[in-house]
Structure 1
Amino acid sequence: MLAPFSEILKTSKQLFDSFFESYTKELFSPNTRITEACLYSLRAGGKRIRPIFVLNSFFNSSNLPEEINLKDHKSVYLAALAVECIHTYSLIHDDLPAMDNDDTRRGLPTCHIQFDEATAILAGDTLNSISFYLLSLIEATDSNTIRDCIQILHAGAGIQGMILGQMEDIEEEKNPSSKDKESKLTSIHEKKTGALIEASFLLGNRLRPDWKERNSVISSYAKEIGLLFQITDDILDVEGNLEDLGKTPGKDAKAGKLTYPGLYGMDTAKRFKNESLEKAISLVTGVPSLNNEFFLGLPKYIAERKN
């Protein structure tokens, strides 16, 4: 018998994948080398964790449907797909020779290995632009909803969020700072990893009629989840293996990247992970609309994951 959180996770992924398979047939048509590369990376597995954040921030797990309902809820699925496209574009570009130079992603050859470097760049560009197109299709009675959703995704993925974090990471790798490494590490990961995670939660919440009263705690919780996700990622890069991770382990240390185990040591990194887990749970415990199996179970799931 699956635990409640596991059931929610499974149902959420099934809902998203069902919408994804039906909608992308039209979205990535006609079939070209670029659309083939986009779909190769989008279909290369993955946990769909960011789309799941969108869905559960909207549905709140207590009223998560058993099947997709496009008549009433198409907008939330569009937002979830927009986030997955942005995330996949970032992975394609991160793996490029000029960036992290990796040849394995989700247990498969990376996009530039499977196709070629130019095709991978253009596939990433395509997924980036499609993300904002998807948000433009959201149906809302409030004229500010689409504008707000576009701004939320841009804040998470753009020049003040994920892209800036990636740039700071590259700069630190090439020219390691001699001081204030703690704040630099925090800045990199708040933007590079945390910003898109926060955007995922905020997008789902923004589509709810009661979004304003939940927005602040959702934002704080999402920031903590982003931190927990990154600390766990850094630990897995040291202790994980290729089979579990689906990507090459140990690359951060070889590249001289600034990480939690590298800066603080493994014991302290694991202590930080546990503290972040407890803080995330405490943030939603006293909030009736968020005190449910998904929001309480997610921190433990992230902290205990193997990939």
Structure 2
Amino acid sequence: MRDFPEYLGTIATDLEARLDALLPTGNAIAEAMRWGTLGGGKRLRGFLVVESAALFDVSRDLALNTAAAIECLHAYSLIHDDLPCMDDDDLRRGRPTVHRRWDEATAVLAGDALQTQAFAILSDPATHPDPSVRIALVSALAAASGQGGMVGGQAMDIAAETAGRMLDLFEIRTLQALKTGALIRFAAQSGALLGQGDSTARDALTSYADALGAAFQIRDDLLDVDGDEAAAGKALNKDAQAGKATYVSLLGVDGARQKADELIAQAIFALKPFGTRADALADAARYTISRTT
């Protein structure tokens, strides 16, 4: 039986090397980009790209550019999330956040540069020889990361916090499907785009990713309540201190765990059309609700 964290680590190592090769060097912004991207993280989104692509016989080497692109996009979002005008965090993965290591202006610009770097990577012929595939990847990541995706979810979160309003469960689901789920959905769907899979395969991966993304967020909410700050490398209990509604605050710890279990069962069921070829993706789903960071 495969040791999933170890397998995840092998892909993370390959992805780290690819990011190291793709990211710029030579000035303060480049170094801030590298600080915010390299040297840590589970690389789960990149893993989903690689493993979903493998379902369509796309090699890891070819899939790694797309995996690197989503990790650049994700890193940009974290750098900006950590800013004082957002979540105001001093630590990320046990190290000073970019705006603490440098300054706020550098953090904003490094995040901006990482966002454009993601699309530069996707548009490069090295990512896929077929330009129509590259355009599809660019379009899908733009949709997942913009107003109709991650940014829209963050805007909902900020608006609720500014108004001092507790969101209900439907609103929380909507917010997290945008803020967290949209990038996870892109990661899983990108494998079908790289492998030029049919609509049935894309729909199955979308169902998998939607359930996985919701479970991932519930686990994050649980870790914010009972996680280990040293292991997390960042401050915890911030949602409760800010008075934010989360899956845990609305469902309770036991209810949130039960919901996460149900979602993981849904995610694994969605993979049935792929048979044992999707075992690594099923393992990723199980890992999502057992992880400690």
How does the TM-score come out when normalised to structure 1?
0.89
**Distance in 2, Cα, partners of 1:40 & 1:216:** 36
Match of 1:185 in 2: 172
Identity of aligned residues (%): 35
Give the Å deviation of 1:95. 0.4
Aligned with 1:287 (options 260, 265, 273)? 273
Match of 1:37 in 2: 32
Match of 1:92 in 2: 79
**Distance in 2, Cα, partners of 1:272 & 1:289:** 25
User: RMSD between aligned alpha carbons?
Assistant: 2.0
Are 1:237 and 2:224 counterparts? yes
**Distance in 2, Cα, partners of 1:218 & 1:202:** 6
**Distance in 1, Cα, partners of 2:274 & 2:186:** 22
Give the Å deviation of 1:151. 1.1
Match of 2:282 in 1: 296
Give the Å deviation of 1:211. 4.5
**Distance in 2, Cα, partners of 1:265 & 1:113:** 34
Could you list the per-position Cα deviations for residues 211-252 of structure 1 after superposition, in whole angstroms to 9, with x for gaps in the alignment?
534100001101111001000000000001211111100001
Could you list the per-position Cα deviations for residues 110-135 of structure 1 after superposition, in whole angstroms to 9, with x for gaps in the alignment?
11001111110110001011111111
Unaligned 5+ runs, structure 1? none
Match of 2:138 in 1: 150
Give the Å deviation of 1:176. 4.1
Aligned with 1:123 (options 110, 134, 141)? 110
Tell whether the 8 Å contact from 2:58 to 2:195 is kept in structure 1 after alignment. Answer: no
Match of 1:250 in 2: 237
Helix, strand or coil: the match of 1:288? helix
Match of 1:102 in 2: 89
AA matched with 1:219? T
Tell whether the 8 Å contact from 1:225 to 1:280 is kept in structure 2 after alignment. Answer: yes
Could you list the per-position Cα deviations for residues 234-278 of structure 1 after superposition, in whole angstroms to 9, with x for gaps in the alignment?
000000121111110000111112201111211111111111111
Tell whether the 8 Å contact from 1:232 to 1:302 is kept in structure 2 after alignment. Answer: yes
AA matched with 2:110? A
Tell whether the 8 Å contact from 2:125 to 2:131 is kept in structure 1 after alignment. Answer: no
**Distance in 2, Cα, partners of 1:155 & 1:300:** 27
Give the Å deviation of 1:17. 2.0
How does the TM-score come out when normalised to structure 2?
0.93
Are 1:305 and 2:291 counterparts? yes
Structure 1 residue runs of 4 or more that deviate by more than 6 Å after TM superposition: 62-65
Match of 1:196 in 2: 183
**Distance in 2, Cα, partners of 1:120 & 1:45:** 18
Tell whether the 8 Å contact from 1:78 to 1:137 is kept in structure 2 after alignment. Answer: no
**Distance in 1, Cα, partners of 2:241 & 2:80:** 20
**Distance in 2, Cα, partners of 1:212 & 1:12:** 27
Tell whether the 8 Å contact from 1:56 to 1:64 is kept in structure 2 after alignment. Answer: no
AA matched with 2:97? T
| CA pair 95-88 structure 1, distance change in 2 beyond 3 A | same
Could you list the per-position Cα deviations for residues 74-106 of structure 1 after superposition, in whole angstroms to 9, with x for gaps in the alignment?
xx2221111010000000000000000010111
